[in-house]
Each structure stands twice: as structure tokens, then as C-alpha cells.
A and B are shown apart, each in its own frame.
Chain A
Amino acid sequence: MIIGSLASIDTPPAPPHGFPAPDTSIFDYTKSCLVGGGPFCLTKISLLMILSAVIIVALFVIGARKRQVVPRGSQNLVEAFVDMVRGSIVLEVMGPAGLPFLPFLTALFIFIWLNNSWGIIPFAQIPTTSRMAVPAFLSALVWVVFNVVGIVKQGGWHYLKGILFPSGVPWYIYPLVTPIELVSTFLVRPLTLAVRLAANMIAGHLILTIFAVGTWYLASHFALASGFGKAVGVFAIPAFALEVAMTAFEVLVAFLQAYIFTILTAVYISGAMSSEH
């Protein structure tokens, strides 16, 4: 297949009638199963997720195997990740009381980061988090964790009371505040957590695809058309420049979304650990 695509560089395909704008079907890998079929289909998305789990476990096992006071090699890398989550997320948001959650938050951060980064890693080039199932599962996990933490640390009734009937609010405001707090804590929190991550990755992947397809479309115009069509084809150059620039921007977005997901998880957990007074 690679040889075929290399051979086609010499004779570019004829420009189709009208720009073939990519739509949401580019996220659908269920038609091209790698192994199996039907509900037990191993898609590219599942393969990349398994791969990222293997990579992360291998990285941390190798990093922790020969521990030294002065870290070398992969221990250095792993310590940098843990130190970043510890310093700028856990201690900043939760304080020293949040340190038991450092392993969970580090795992969450690095998993989301790697899965976002698949969108710009050559040959993978699909962020697995752009499939709603992945962020939905992650945010469901976070929802369970912060509720369990709240119930264990505060007791079920006290935890619920702290959310639904916040102290310092006059009783006649409760009919207004209680439904808002109920919806915002138990429904909007997990929903926005999942949708934020998915929406950012979907948008980023769509933009990259649009500029890549646009570059090919305009370049094929330049190669095949004559006269005015050739002049249109010159716009392949800015399209390609934007493709490169957006790829660089995606590097930032992949990190930032993982960071925001982790920081909000830390905020939710620390909010559940102690009631506000």
C-alpha cells in the first residue's frame, strides 16, 4: 500500500469535482477491523489504546527498576512527569492532603496525554480521545472516584448536605440553589469533563484533516489544471504551511487538555474531601 501511494506521487490523481470536505466519518474505524469483527472488532483506536497502556507500564517499570538517588535515563523522564503532577497540580490544588491521589492523577495525566498525542504521531494520526467512548469512560471513572472519596471522608449524608444545602446561604434561596447544585455537581461536571476533551481533539483532528486534504486538492489542481486552475493551485502553499502550524498547535493542545482534565479531577476530589465552610 505504501509502494502504491509512493508511485502515485508521479501521477497525481485527478482533482475531483468539488472539494471533498472531510466530515465526522473520518473518526469511524469500525468498518476497517484489524482483527475480528462485529462487537469484538479490534479497531485502530483499540490497538492504539492497548499500545499506549503497554508503553506507559513499560516506561514506569523500567524507570523504577534501578532506582538511584541521582536519576539516569528513563528514571529521569518518569520522575519529571511525577514531579510535574505533584508540584503544579496536587500541591497547588489539593495541598499535602492530596498526595495519596498522586499515583491516580499521574496515571490519568500521562494516559490522556499519550492518547491525545496519537493525533500527531506519524502512522497513528488519530487521537483516541476523539472517540467519545474514551473520555466518557475516563470522566465516569473520575465521577465514581470523587463521589466515593466524598462519601468515605465525610459520610454519605454530610457529603450530600454539603453540596445540596451549602452553609451560609439563607434558607429561602435553597429552592433555587439546590437544583442548580444537584445538576452542576452530578451531571454537568462529568459531562463537561468528557465533552471538553473529546470536542478539543475532534476539532483538532478535523482541522488537520481539512488542511491535509486541502493541500492535496489544491496541489493536484496545480499539477493537472492549466491557466486559471494553476493559479488556484498556488494556494496549496499556505494550506500546507497552516497544516504544519496546526500540527505544532496540536502538540500544545494535547498537553493542555491532559493538564486541564487532571487539574479539574484534582479540584473535584479536593472539594469532596472536605466540606466548604
Chain B
Amino acid sequence: MANLALLAQEAVNVGVPIGKGLVYGLAAIGPGIGIGFLAGKAVEAMARQPEAAGMVRTTMFIGIAFAEALALFGFVLFFIVK
């Protein structure tokens, strides 16, 4: 029984750093894909219509900010997970 408790404690000790690492890694997948699409499409739009580049760039930054928010939650969780 004591061994089992020890084993459980060991599992927690080993699992927490792995979990902390995984939290940010997994949280970054979605926003990474999203920001990639977003920036790619913005470049495409700017190349097609250079006179609209200013407006596209502003909208792109706003979109990136929203997509990035999800990755930031992962970053915060990294510090919250104990």
C-alpha cells in the first residue's frame, strides 16, 4: 500500500513537468496554423492589390491578435499548472 502511494507521488512528480511542457505545445498548434493562414492570405491580398496594403496590414494585425490570444492562454496555463 505504501509502495502504491509512493508510486502515485512519483507519477505526479514526473507528470507535472511533462504536462507543463505539453500545455504550451498543444495550445500553440491551433493558433500557429491560424496565423500561418492569416499572414499568407494577407500577403496574397497585398500582392493582388498593393494600394490596399495599409488596410490589409491593419486587419491582419487585428486578426493575428485574436488568434494569438489562444496561444497566450496556454502560456498563462504554463505558469498556473503546479
Does A263 have its Cβ within 8 Å of any Cβ on chain B? yes
Contact B58 A264 (CB under 8 A): no
B43-82 contacts to A, CB under 8 A, are 54-55, 58, 61-62, 64-65, 68-69, 72, 75-76, 79
Contact A199 B54 (CB under 8 A): no
Interface residues contributed by chain A, number (CB under 8 Å): 15
A205 to B4, CA, bound (A): 42
A228-268 contacts to B, CB under 8 A, are 259-260, 263-264, 267
Does A226 have its Cβ within 8 Å of any Cβ on chain B? no
B14-69 contacts to A, CB under 8 A, are 54-55, 58, 61-62, 64-65, 68-69
Known A-B contacts A88-B54, A92-B58; the reply to A188 vs B69 at CB < 8 A is yes
Q: Which A-chain residue is minimally distant from B76 (CB atoms)? A: A195
Chain A interface SS verdict (over half): helix
Contact A88 B72 (CB under 8 A): no
Does A225 have its Cβ within 8 Å of any Cβ on chain B? no
Place the interface of chain B in its size category.
10 to 19
Out of B55, B62, B68, B76, which one reaches A263, CB within 8 Å?
B62
| Most central of B54, B62, B72, B75 by chain A CB within 10 Å | B72
Contact A93 B58 (CB under 8 A): yes
Contact B75 A199 (CB under 8 A): yes
Q: Which B-chain residue is minimally distant from A93 (CB atoms)? A: B58
Contact B72 A195 (CB under 8 A): yes
Contact B62 A267 (CB under 8 A): yes
Contacting residues, chain B, for A263 (C-beta < 8 A): 58, 61-62, 65
Out of B54, B58, B61, B75, which one reaches A195, CB within 8 Å?
B75
Does A192 have its Cβ within 8 Å of any Cβ on chain B? yes
Contacting residues, chain B, for A267 (C-beta < 8 A): 62
Does A44 have its Cβ within 8 Å of any Cβ on chain B? no
A192 to B67, CA, bound (A): 11
A196 to B54, CA, bound (A): 23
Contact B54 A192 (CB under 8 A): no
Contacting residues, chain A, for B79 (C-beta < 8 A): 24
A121 to B75, CA, bound (A): 26
A218 to B72, CA, bound (A): 32
B31 smallest CB distance to A (angstroms): 12
Q: Which B-chain residue is minimally distant from A91 (CB atoms)? A: B54
A195 to B69, CA, bound (A): 9
A84 smallest CB distance to B (angstroms): 12
Contacting residues, chain B, for A199 (C-beta < 8 A): 72, 75-76
Given pairs A195-B72, A195-B76, A196-B65, 16 additional interface contacts (CB within 8 A): A89-B58, A92-B54, A92-B55, A93-B58, A188-B69, A192-B68, A195-B75, A196-B68, A196-B69, A196-B72, A199-B72, A199-B76, A260-B64, A260-B65, A264-B62, A264-B65
What are 25 pairs between A and B in contact, CB < 8 Å? A88-B54, A88-B58, A92-B55, A92-B58, A93-B58, A188-B69, A192-B65, A192-B69, A195-B72, A195-B76, A196-B65, A196-B69, A196-B72, A199-B75, A199-B76, A259-B61, A260-B61, A260-B64, A260-B65, A263-B58, A263-B61, A263-B65, A264-B62, A264-B65, A267-B62
The interface of chain B, by Cβ under 8 A from chain A, is: 54-55, 58, 61-62, 64-65, 68-69, 72, 75-76, 79
Q: Which A-B residue pairs are the 6 nearest by beta carbons?
A: A192-B69, A195-B72, A199-B75, A92-B58, A199-B72, A264-B65
